């Protein structure tokens, strides 16, 4: 069934000075509107973000014409489809080839409204490490890194690790070799795919240098197939090596404490919960929309509100 349209939102939208959307499907359980409302309230802005749970791109393109529209979070399945409807991209959005944030600027020559795209997922990954690890040099700088998974989040992780986090090499661990090849091929074509290594077996992992940063980009599940079990054993091989770094577990729904987080903690690794990546990518979005810097935003309150909501969801 096609989700709701904006007609249901109009009374709420009329009650605020400026508004944005979370555009995607399915998004009913998203924490994004709560997150951004906490920021806007803390800044004294009469703004709100509304859910646009829809597959209808034409509807969204009409809605963004409202002069009170400040921008949108863009999630699946629209992160690629939105590209052809934008006037420009930031360097990271162009490099990753996907947009999760639409923001509005004005052409200084013509006064025309410009719809711009960026990708703050990469910033969320980067800042999760730098905001939680006090000594990056001893933890993960100039060391190999490891990514578990083969989807869009894995591509964002490659960009963050390669461009900002000083990873010397990046190991890719996944149950599906074709997915790993697709990540390597795409990142290479976009100019940041050097030193990517498909690690398929425990025997291969045993011969490789230990890693400093791990980004887990897979759902929380117990391995069932032979390929899944081998990928888990490869991860455990790296976790058991002498150097203990930090794991960012991107999965946080329904709980941020996943099997991978538990295994990592038992092996002596620092665990960064996936809510951190969600929070820091969201704060970066609000930088684009409000023009404020992160130090001006209610960061501690945002952490508290998100933690409380997740606790409620687990009861």
Residues designated catalytic: 79
How far, in Å, are 91, 120, 132, 156, 248 from residue 97 at the CA level? 10, 12, 28, 9, 22
Examine residue 26 and say whether the peptide bond preceding it is cis (omega within 30 degrees of 0).
yes
Q: What are the contacts of 76-79 at 24+ separation with CB within 8 A?
A: 76/24, 76/25, 77/24, 77/25, 78/23, 78/24, 79/152
If you ran DSSP here, which 8-state letter would residue 214 be given?
Answer: E
- Residue from 302, 277, 293, 297 nearest 122 by CA: 277
Give yes or no for a contact between 23 and 74, defined as CB atoms under 8 angstroms apart: yes
| Helix residue ranges, H only, the chain | 10-14, 32-43, 57-63, 91-96, 121-132, 136-139, 152-163, 177-189, 202-206, 226-239, 259-266, 274-290, 299-314
Tell me if residue 110 falls in helix, strand or coil.
Answer: coil
């Amino acid at each position: 069934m096609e989700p709701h349209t904006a007609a249901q939102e109009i009374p709420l939208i009329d009650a605020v000075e400026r508004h944005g959307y979370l555009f995607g499907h399915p998004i009913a359980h998203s924490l994004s509107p709560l997150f951004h409302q906490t920021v806007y309230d803390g800044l004294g802005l009469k703004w709100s973000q509304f859910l646009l749970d829809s597959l209808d791109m034409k509807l969204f393109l009409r809605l963004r014409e409202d002069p009170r529209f400040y921008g949108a979070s863009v999630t699946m399945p629209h992160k690629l489809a939105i590209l052809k409807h934008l006037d420009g991209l930031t360097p990271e959005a162009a490099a990753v080839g996907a947009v999760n944030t639409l923001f509005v600027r004005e052409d200084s020559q013509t006064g025309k409204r410009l719809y711009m795209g960026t990708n703050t997922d990469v910033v969320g990954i980067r800042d999760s490490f730098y905001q939680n690890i006090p000594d990056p040099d001893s933890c993960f700088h100039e060391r190999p890194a490891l990514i578990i998974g083969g989807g869009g989040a894995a591509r964002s992780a490659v960009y963050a690790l390669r461009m900002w986090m000083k990873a010397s090499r990046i190991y890719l661990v996944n149950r599906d070799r074709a997915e790993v090849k697709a990540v390597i091929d795409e990142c290479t074509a976009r100019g940041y795919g050097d030193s990517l290594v498909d690690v398929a077996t425990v025997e291969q992992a045993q011969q490789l240098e230990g890693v400093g940063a791990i980004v887990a980009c897979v759902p929380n599940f117990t391995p069932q197939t032979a390929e899944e079990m081998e990928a888990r054993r490869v991860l455990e091989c790296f976790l058991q090596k002498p150097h203990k770094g930090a794991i960012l577990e991107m999965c946080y729904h329904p709980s941020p404490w996943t099997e991978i987080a538990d295994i990592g903690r038992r092996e002596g690794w620092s665990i960064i919960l996936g809510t951190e990546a969600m929070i820091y990518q969201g704060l970066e979005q609000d930088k684009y929309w409000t023009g404020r810097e992160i130090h001006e935003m209610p960061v501690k309150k945002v952490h508290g509100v998100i933690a409380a909501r997740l606790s409620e969801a687990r009861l």
